[in-house]
Amino acid sequence: MTYANLLIELKDNVAWVRINRPDKLNALNRDTLQELHRAIESLSADAQVRVIVLTGSGPKAFVAGADIAEMNGLSAIEARDFSNLGQNLMLSIEQCGKPVIAMINGFALGGGLELAMACAIRVAASTAKLGQPEVNLGLIPGFGGSQRLVRLCGKAVALDLCLSGQPIDAARALAVNLVTRVHAPEALEEETAKLASHIAALAPLALRGVLDCIRYGAEAALDVGLDYESQMFGLMFATEDMRIGTEAFLKRQPAAFAGK
């Protein structure tokens, strides 16, 4: 499958997806949102892919936001549809069944931060800037920013970022749990690759179980989440990977998981 706005490369069970509009700071227009959705669906179904890394091309931006030039001419109905398109993409990333890592190499603003927040893990360059600046345009977040931000960082941080429209640096983003790892720009890709390779070597069905438990449990009452976890835990005992992992541990050998 070929894409006009994406570069995709598979390295050792890790799919690297780069949004490739550096002249537009990788802004998300309709075509790019649709291509990303197709790519996530394709990679989710590919047994060779165990981890997906999502990043932006060029030295300046992960994604600097939605494409304002395209948005400027939208009617109210078209804007609602554009929001739905973006939200459907974010849901497809959250629900694809594989760990998706956002490698934030520069600006992650507006739709860019919303894209990063849909990923399971966010790794940022120390020079990155993150924010929800929509109020500066007379808008509000439209791709899930108001909802995922409050779930990741709490009400106070969500209100601060969304009401002020001011970006924060990577150090502040780490402090408020918006990102989980920060590296020097020159080390970002190497460190992200190490993390992705480490996760890709683990049991794919167990990884999916963790993703499902945390995503479902975060929205459920504790007793409901605990019951879901117990059922998922039991289900792992039906997998070949559980036998491989436990036997390798008992023999003090590395496990080579089959994904079955």
Catalytic residue among 35, 70, 78, 114: 114
Q: Where on the phi/psi map is residue 13: left (φ > 0), alpha (ψ -120 to 50), or beta?
A: left
The distance from CA 58 to its chain's CA centroid, rounded to whole angstroms, is: 19
Non-local (6+) Cβ contacts of 242 within 8 A are 203, 206, 236
Amino acid at 231: Q
Give me 173's structure tokens. Answer: 């983003």
Closest CA to 123 of 189, 179, 55: 179
9 is a catalytic site residue: no
Q: What one-character-per-residue DSSP string does 80-94 give?
A: HHHHHHHHHHHHHHH
CA distances from 174 to 122, 144, 145 (A): 10, 20, 17
C-alpha–C-alpha distance, residues 211 and 199, integer Å: 13
114 is a catalytic site residue: yes
C-alpha–C-alpha distance, residues 237 and 41, integer Å: 28
Catalytic residue among 70, 78, 94, 134: 134
Give me 63's structure tokens. Answer: 């994604």
> Is residue 77 classed as helix, strand or coil in its secondary structure?
helix
C-alpha–C-alpha distance, residues 17 and 197, integer Å: 15
Give me 109's structure tokens. Answer: 């603003």
Cα atoms found within 13 Å of the Cα of residue 31, Cβ hemisphere only: 10
Would you please indicate which residues are annotated as catalytic (active-site) residues? 114, 134
